[in-house]
Amino acid sequence: MSAILNTVFPIFGLILLGFLCRRTGRLGAAAASEINRFVVWLALPALLFQVTAASHWSDIWQPGFLIAFTGGALLVFVLTLLLRLRTSHLADASIDGLSASYPNAGFIGIPLCVLVLGRDALQPAMIATLLTACVMFAGTIVLIEVALQGEGNLGQAMRKVGRALATNPLVIAPVVGGLWAATGITLPTAPQRLIGLLADAASPCALISLGAFLAQKQAGTGKGASWIVFAKLVVQPLATAALAFSVFHLPTLWAASAVLLSALPTGTGPFMLAELYRREAAVVSRVVLVSTLISIATVSLCVHLFSPAA
């Protein structure tokens, strides 16, 4: 329990600091949006580039783990998307689907996996981070862009989507990082340090931005957050466990890592997209906060189940 608290407390602590600074006026009314813009346009792209540029395809290509982890996430994404489409715009439903399937792999997953399962669990944790921050993020951006640019004929809409994706830093950064990794060239020290400084700012700034947003009066009701939290903390890990243990019969370390990572609370990615595209973020912010609090219990259960095997 202490290991989990030591990992989760700094995350919630940064959200609380952002909340208090906004409520006491230390941060202005535009703080949440402006800090989030910094994260989206500079800090997070630097982090995505840094991770992908240092990765090798031989390390990432683990088919059973990839399918088990992605399958569980895809299931809850599609279920949530279909449920929310009954009453919501495709752009909002896409963000809600991401909220239900986007584990906080980078901020919580990497240190937690190493603490619980040892250094060997760093590899699956890094793969999960790449999947959530790159593949799931990019896929949701495509849906949002299609929803927002969907007026007119299909060809015109697809051209607009293509232009939007080609200029989106959250899509460009991991692609450029992967291409750089393919060259095998080591990044020079000066740009490496610059990128590292920006990347280190992504996590705290994103969480403080979320806290500042939570301190503001929400325009929406947050209706639907309960299902999203349930899907994230219960449905996704159960689906991932079935795939990892029963379908693909992964080695214990890889199977346990897949389930532990899928059981994490919702990361800040969906909130950043909601802010970036000026969509209603009341549901997203509530899901991030509530899932982080409840995950102390659900993740503790996963640790209890898997730590003896490690």
What is the residue whose two structure tokens read 């590899």?
123
Secondary-structure breakdown of the chain: helix, strand, coil percentages, each rounded to the nearest 5: 80, 0, 20
Q: Is 185 exposed, middle or buried, given 0-12, 13-18 or 19+ CB atoms closer than 10 A?
A: exposed
| DSSP secondary structure letter of residue 220 | S
Q: Which CATH class is domain 2-19+30-306?
A: mainly alpha
Share of the chain above pLDDT 70, in %: 91
Span of 4-18, 88-102, 146-160, 268-282 with lowest mean pLDDT: 146-160
Q: What is the largest CA-CA distance in the chain?
A: 58
- Spans of all domains in the chain: 2-19+30-306
The pLDDT tens digits for 224-271 are 899 999 999 999 999 999 999 999 999 999 999 999 999 999 988 898
Confidence category of residue 116, pLDDT binned at 50, 70, 90: confident
Confidence category of residue 133, pLDDT binned at 50, 70, 90: confident
Average pLDDT of the residues of the chain:
86
Whether residue 18 has pLDDT greater than 90: yes
The pLDDT tens digits for 193-228 are 999 999 999 888 988 988 888 887 766 666 789 999
- Identity of the residue numbered 229: V
pTM greater than 0.75 (yes/no): yes
Distance from C-alpha of 104 to C-alpha of 112, rounded to nearest angstrom: 11
Confidence category of residue 293, pLDDT binned at 50, 70, 90: confident
Whether residue 56 has pLDDT greater than 80: no
